[in-house]
Amino acid sequence: MNNYGTLDSSYIAAGKEVGIRKLVDDFYHQMETQKRGQYIRAMHKGDLDVIKDKLSVFLMGWLGGPRNYAQKYGQMSIPMVHKHLVIGEEERDAWLYCMNEALKYQNYSEDFKDYLIAQLSRPAEAIRRVSRMEHSG
């Protein structure tokens, strides 16, 4: 049994700020180099350095570390910041695929990698659901 969901244990398992920033860099590197990442990479219109910082700061709080997102970037909801994008199963799975590839380059236990992908698939699915409501009909 792991206790990743409690207090800051996931934040620590992810290597705190340095580890999370490396994960996010590797994630976007995968998005840029994997064929499956091309389409979702092209959806990004903003400055990638800013988007990487946003995802990193978000993940730090989400994993039980310092919650600085709202102070730095304002309040947001993950599905709502994506609702202008058309995200179906393919895009959701491409995102999770790039994250899974990036995890191969992290010094994390297999247990924590499995946990992280399972946790991330929840907001990824919520994004898809909201996107479908926004863009259907």
Site of interaction with ligand HEM (CB under 6 A): 40, 43-46, 51, 54-55, 58, 73, 76, 78, 81-82, 85, 87, 91-92, 95, 120, 123-124, 127
Q: Supply the angle between the helices 16-33 and 89-103 in degrees, to the nearest 10.
A: 120
**Residue 88 or 109 with smaller CB distance to ligand HEM:** 88
Residue 33 tokens, joined: 């180099």
**Residue 1 or 5 with smaller CB distance to ligand HEM:** 5
**Residue 1 or 136 with smaller CB distance to ligand HEM:** 136
Closest separation in Å from C-beta 58 to ligand HEM = 4
* Distances, alpha carbon 135 to alpha carbons 26, 121, 123, in Å: 31, 21, 18
The whole-angstrom separation of Cα 97 and Cα 117 is 9
